[in-house]
Amino acid sequence: MVILTSSQPMLWLRQHLVLPFLLYTSLLGGAEQPKCRCLYGDPCWPTQNEFTNLANQLSQPLLRPVPPPSACYPTNMPSGNCSEVVAHYTDGNWRADQPGAMQNTNFESFVFLNGTIDACYLNVSLNIPCEQGNVPPVSVDVRSAEDVQAAVVFAKRHNLRLVVKNTGHDYLGRSAGRGAFMIWTHHLKNMSYDASFTPSGAPRRHSAVEVVTLGAGVQWHEAYTFVSQQNRTIVGGISQGGSVGAAGGWVMGAGHSAFSPTFGLGVDNVVQFTLVLADGTYVTANAFQNVDLFWALRGGGGGTYGVVISTTYRVHPAFSVGLAAISTNFPSYAAALAVVTEWTKLHPTISDAGWGGYTYINQVGQADFQMMFVSPNVSIEEATATFKPLFDIVGNATEGQAVAVVRSYPTFLDWYTAFFTLPGQSQVGGRVELASRLLPKAITMQDPEKVAKILLSLKAGVGINSVGGGAVSKVDPSSTGLNPSWRKALAEVYISETWEEGVSAATIAQARERLKQNTDVIDKLTTDSGSYLNEGSLYEKDFKKSYFGSHYVDLKGVKKKYDPTSLFVVASGVGSEYWDEELKCRL
């Protein structure tokens, strides 16, 4: 007999009696599944008593998320402080702390087929009522695997549309869902360092690995600080304020970094995941346990196979950072063509040498060219020699009007702090949709001028994330579930469209049509329409091909094995082709 003392009995009862009982009862009633999910407002929506029973199993009270601007509509939805909302509206870390906030506010809105828009706008002078929009009305603020298990079992039992959200960074809107039930992983903040980690299930003689394990709610600014305290560096996402989640959708979509040409993508640095499956089971996935699931989680898309609880990453020794940057305006199309052609020609060499970075090219007429590349442990002299051909071309083409910078930073964190923690800088809080293509190395080597002409022909600004080549290209494409196009790519080319708050559905449709047209332009850079899942479009002609490539069939097999009833369904995710546009009903 085991005698339990102090606070242990309640935890033991939850783990050994409550969750298994809920799981068992949720599976009663046969294998036939309802055609449509149950949404808020439907007769099948759980009763208050049923939500109370769920709340009794959780460590935190249930949340009722609302769009952040609701605080500015006191007669409609009195909630929060409007002044605080206005002051922090474009702060990514503030938005991440709000259960009802998405980083891009268009995903807080819902557009009906008849053109009606349900939303809550910050601009109260529009005189448009504040509505719930696309924000799930009920959420579980999970703090443990047990919380996640209870929430997953509840959603399955009641056939709810389930949404998993951490920070709300998602250009496909997968963090939101009208009338859905949300699992909010944002407070799974545990971090640990292990200088000698052995994956679960590994043979006794398996070599230990130096790692950090991050809870699903950890954000990159938190991870970078923690890893730096261990005198180590981790491959991670680069954004203003570091508000992107470090252990969830970022890595499951590929996870790129300016340092990927040296150390590989996020999927190449993962050692282990822990997660809760659709049946409520808590499992470990690595190279020795649930191997097929581990393969799929590395590139097969977030919100698709389960709810990740933690991710374990390999870490690297600390390093200094060499930087080369250019900022200029083009006086003519000929100057633009000369610069972008030379930039393209240089690209394969610098990527193979471990340089990665970010470039922005605007259409001729506005004529901007901004570039920043970085590489570990490179001196100022080495950086100058590498980029001298480009510096010379830019100087001649712009008659000396360009600004070129070469610098060195003692550590990764010094470089990151200098560029991505600047006050007043923001990438969020507006309305934006993206489309992207992976730029193959082959075309940059065979016809750099063609690449330059395509990029300059776009009727919008274009960003190029130079996050491929080098170490990324040396990984066996079959070793992860990631789209194999990544292994042949040097960079991700992306375009965007935005619109003003409160515009009509027709205006939004026009913006999306422009995005589609420009997607056709950048598609000329590829032979297979390969795209980055986490920075892609909802309007791909064939999302299976663009986001997953030849791995789609195998990913669908893993999906069917671990989530046979499709509890987890997300836009453009594996298996989503069997659901309607709102992801409510099976087709």
- Residue 400 has what pLDDT? 81
pLDDT tens for each residue of 36-59: 999 999 999 999 999 999 999 999
pLDDT tens for each residue of 190-200: 999 999 999 99
Helix, strand, or coil (residue 410): coil
DSSP-assigned letters across all residues of 473-535:
GGS-GGGSSS-GGGGGEEEEEEEEEE--TT--HHHHHHHHHHHHHHHHHHGGG-SS----GGG
| For helices 505-522 and 448-457, angle between their N-to-C axes, nearest 10 degrees | 170
Question: Residue 74: pLDDT band by 50, 70, 90 thresholds?
Answer: confident
- Residue 2 has what pLDDT? 33
pLDDT at 23 over 60: no
As a whole number, mean pLDDT of residues 492-519 equals 96
- Residue 386 has what pLDDT? 96
CATH of domain 33-185+555-578: 3.30.43.10
- Residue 12 has what pLDDT? 31
The whole-angstrom separation of Cα 135 and Cα 130 is 12
- Residue 367 has what pLDDT? 66
pLDDT tens for each residue of 343-354: 999 999 999 999
Q: Tell me the fold of 191-318.
A: 3.30.465
pLDDT at 16 over 90: no
The whole-angstrom separation of Cα 262 and Cα 354 is 5
**What tokens does 291 get?**
């191997």
- Residue 365 has what pLDDT? 57
Alpha-carbon separation of residue 3 from 6, 15, 16, 146, 164 (angstroms): 10, 16, 15, 22, 37
pLDDT at 366 over 70: no
The whole-angstrom separation of Cα 315 and Cα 564 is 35
pLDDT at 317 over 60: yes
Element (H, E) at 562: helix 552-562
Q: Which amino acid is at 150?
A: A
pLDDT at 311 over 90: yes
Element (H, E) at 452: helix 448-457
Question: Residue 25: pLDDT band by 50, 70, 90 thresholds?
Answer: very low
Domain ranges of the chain: 33-185+555-578, 191-318, 321-549
- Residue 364 has what pLDDT? 55
Helix, strand, or coil (residue 559): helix
Percent of the chain with pLDDT strictly greater than 70: 93
Question: Residue 261: pLDDT band by 50, 70, 90 thresholds?
Answer: very high
- Residue 9 has what pLDDT? 35
Question: Residue 582: pLDDT band by 50, 70, 90 thresholds?
Answer: very high
Helix, strand, or coil (residue 274): strand
The whole-angstrom separation of Cα 526 and Cα 74 is 51
**129 alpha-carbon distance from chain centroid:** 31
As a whole number, mean pLDDT of residues 355-373 equals 86
What is this structure's pTM? 0.92
* H runs (alpha helix) in 288-411: 291-297, 333-352, 380-397
pLDDT tens for each residue of 368-396: 899 999 999 999 999 999 999 999 999 99
- CB contact at 8 A, 108 and 55: no
**100 alpha-carbon distance from chain centroid:** 17
Among the listed ranges 18-27, 110-119, 203-212, which one has the minimum average pLDDT value? Answer: 18-27
- CB contact at 8 A, 40 and 179: yes
Q: State the average pLDDT for the chain.
A: 92
pLDDT at 80 over 90: no
pLDDT tens for each residue of 420-451: 998 877 899 999 999 999 999 999 999 999 99
pLDDT at 33 over 80: no
pLDDT tens for each residue of 514-528: 999 999 999 999 999
Element (H, E) at 420: helix 412-420
Q: Which amino acid is at 72?
A: C
Question: Residue 76: pLDDT band by 50, 70, 90 thresholds?
Answer: low
CATH 1.20.210.10 fits 321-549, yes or no: no
Residue 521: closest CA among 442, 455, 463: 455
- Residue 14 has what pLDDT? 38
- Residue 112 has what pLDDT? 94
As a whole number, mean pLDDT of residues 493-500 equals 96
DSSP-assigned letters across all residues of 332-350:
SHHHHHHHHHHHHHHHHHH
As a whole number, mean pLDDT of residues 139-155 equals 98
The whole-angstrom separation of Cα 405 and Cα 383 is 10
pLDDT tens for each residue of 323-346: 999 999 988 889 999 999 999 999
Q: Within 13 Å and on the Cβ side, how many CA atoms surround 552?
A: 18
pLDDT at 466 over 70: yes
- Residue 28 has what pLDDT? 33
- Residue 502 has what pLDDT? 96
The whole-angstrom separation of Cα 138 and Cα 142 is 13
As a whole number, mean pLDDT of residues 272-283 equals 98
- DSSP annotation of 166 reads S
> What residues contact residue 461 under an 8 Å CB cut-off, 6+ apart?
360, 361, 362, 363, 366, 368, 495, 496
Are 33-185+555-578 and 191-318 equal in CATH topology? no
pLDDT tens for each residue of 190-246: 999 999 999 999 998 888 999 999 999 999 999 999 999 999 999 999 999 999 999
Percent of the chain with pLDDT strictly greater than 90: 87
The whole-angstrom separation of Cα 167 and Cα 215 is 13
> What residues contact residue 345 under an 8 Å CB cut-off, 6+ apart?
444, 448
Measured from the Cβ of residue 507, the count of other Cβ atoms closer than 10 Å reads 12
